[in-house]
């Protein structure tokens, strides 16, 4: 994944979701998922859904261009 400037909870949640899916180990994936859950708890359902969509798009983009996301 390229360097990303995290400036708000939405950015942080999106990155945590990406890492939860693409982490190289189950332990790292679980840690990222726990972080994502914690971040999401302070956000609206709509904000969380937008972050989920952004994470899905980022993962798909990297897959289509032959690069690993992590």
The model's confidence at residue 5, banded by pLDDT at 50, 70 and 90, is: confident
The pLDDT mean for the chain works out to 90
Alpha carbon separation from 21 to 15, 28 (Å, rounded): 10, 10
- The 10s digit of each residue's pLDDT in 33-52 is 999 999 999 999 999 999 99
Assess contact for 51 and 4: CB atoms under 8 A: no
pLDDT at position 24 over 80: yes
Q: Is the pLDDT of residue 13 over 60?
A: yes
Alpha helices by DSSP H, the chain: 9-22, 26-40, 45-64
Residues of 3-15 as b/e, b for ≥16 C-beta within 10 angstroms? eeeeeeebebbbb
């Amino acid at each position: 994944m390229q360097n990303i400037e995290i400036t708000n909870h939405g950015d942080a949640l999106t990155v945590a979701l990406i890492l939860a899916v693409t982490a190289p180990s189950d332990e790292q994936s679980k840690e990222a998922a726990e972080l994502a859950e914690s971040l999401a708890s302070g956000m609206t359902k709509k904000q969380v859904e937008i972050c989920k969509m952004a994470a899905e798009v980022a993962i798909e983009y990297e897959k289509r261009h032959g690069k690993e996301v992590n």
